[in-house]
Amino acid sequence: MTDNEKWYWLYSTKGAGKMTAAKLAEKFEDINELYDNIQNIKPEGKRQEKAIEALIAAKKSEAFRREFEQFRRRGVRLLTRQKGDLPKSVLDVKSIQYLYVMGSVACLDEPCAAIVGSREPSLRGSQRTYEIARELAERGVTVISGLARGIDTCAHEGALSGKGKTAAVLAGGVYPVYPAKNELLYAEILQSGGAIVSENPPCTYNYPQLFTARNAVISALSQAVAVMEGGETSGARSTAEAARKQGRVVFALHGQRGEYMSELPRMLLEQGARPVLRADDIIQSLRAGKIEEDVRETIADMSSAKKKKEEPKANEISPEERAVLAAFEGQAMTIDEISEKTGLDMVGLMPILLTLELDGRVTRLGTGYTCCI
């Protein structure tokens, strides 16, 4: 059994609790010692007693090993504070002990700025979000948001149009896609070298209580947080509050007095948030802000960050695309079946399916795909 499987056992077991599990890990030099000696630990209080009982039961069932193998094959990685592979930006936020990541971890160690706001934005808010995200991406900043409809979607799409990186932080697991209508956007984020991030194991249901914690992860991953639009009770308010507690710079888009969508930004501006109208407002803050020297040096070189990629020939098909098409053999297949037959994990497979779908070579059929040629 690998160390990563044991970390998954520790942090995914229901009833263990994130911080209680982390305290148990502190008792031993490595995860192997904890796993081997869990039944011998003398609990310190009721909470730890319940956590130990849950971990012993999970260890006996070994169901966690099957779960781990399933998400590992889909290209999901579990990063932990103890292993030292969490993104640098979250290390000062002690409540974040681990993250599940699909896609590029490297993009999370680049300069990052979050853009959040209402699910029902105005035309002005949508356009400004798209433009700021595009400009940030063009200059090497990873745009962080939550994949929700509205401002989040505009932020991700703007970053993609700028040929840069964007990361979506989900309240539930990194899969299945939520909301389902953003499935193509999800695939494009991965294809562009971005990331899908969650604090919860894959297949975790998106219940309301998870969104506040999700918002705190969005701000923790970022050096700056821009709130574009929203009413006073908008979920983006919790992102701004988390950002302030974490020492991040908060920005807000100034709107007209009396407009509902400007209520939250105006309130934040009155409380000391910085106004944002263009990407340069955020870039300047990142240059002068409280961020690590290596990040500051990266930002100084942003103007040369864009890399040109060769355009593929119109009718050219890659070996991977050919292998996926060959896998169908005249039958409709689920994504898991295609993955198993081709040996491709989810990170590699979803962009290929997206390309083939856009080229008209495959079509979606319920929860699977069928070949059109």
pLDDT tens for each residue of 280-307: 999 988 776 544 444 444 444 444 443 4
Kindly report which listed range (131-145, 229-243, 343-357) carries the lowest average pLDDT score: 343-357
Q: What is the pTM of this model?
A: 0.79
Residue 91: CB atoms within 10 A of its CB come to 13
pLDDT in tens, 21-54: 999 998 888 999 999 999 999 999 999 999 999 9
Cα distances (angstroms) measured from residue 319 to each of 188, 325, 345, 349, 362: 20, 10, 15, 13, 16
Digit-coded pLDDT (tens) for 201-249:
999 988 888 999 999 999 999 999 999 999 988 989 999 999 999 999 9
What letter does residue 194 receive in the DSSP assignment?
-
Alpha-carbon dihedral of residues 285, 291, 295, 298, nearest 10 degrees? Answer: 20
Percent of the chain with pLDDT over 70: 89
Distance, in Å, from the CA atom of 164 to the CA atom of 139, rounded to the nearest integer, reads: 8
Mean pLDDT over all residues of the chain? Answer: 87
Higher-confidence residue: 354 or 326? 326
Q: What is the pLDDT of residue 167?
A: 98
Judge contact between 273 and 240, C-beta under 8 A.
yes
What percent of the chain has a predicted confidence (pLDDT) above 90? Answer: 68
According to the model, what pLDDT value does residue 22 have? 92
Q: What's the pLDDT score for residue 298?
A: 42
- For residue 68, pLDDT over 50 is answered with yes
Who has greater pLDDT, 62 or 297?
A: 62
pLDDT at 241: 95
- Helical residues (DSSP H) of the chain, grouped into ranges: 3-12, 18-25, 31-37, 46-61, 63-73, 123-138, 151-161, 183-191, 209-220, 236-245, 263-270, 279-288, 293-300, 319-328, 335-342, 346-358
What Å distances lie between residue 354 and 84, 127, 186, CA to CA?
Answer: 34, 26, 10
Task: Sketch out the chain's domains with CATH numbers.
Answer: 3-73 (no CATH), 103-304 (3.40.50.450), 319-371 (1.10.10.10)
Does the pLDDT at position 164 exceed 90? yes
pLDDT band at 333 (very low <50, low <70, confident <90, very high): confident
Residue 358: band (very low, low, confident or very high) from pLDDT cuts 50, 70, 90: low
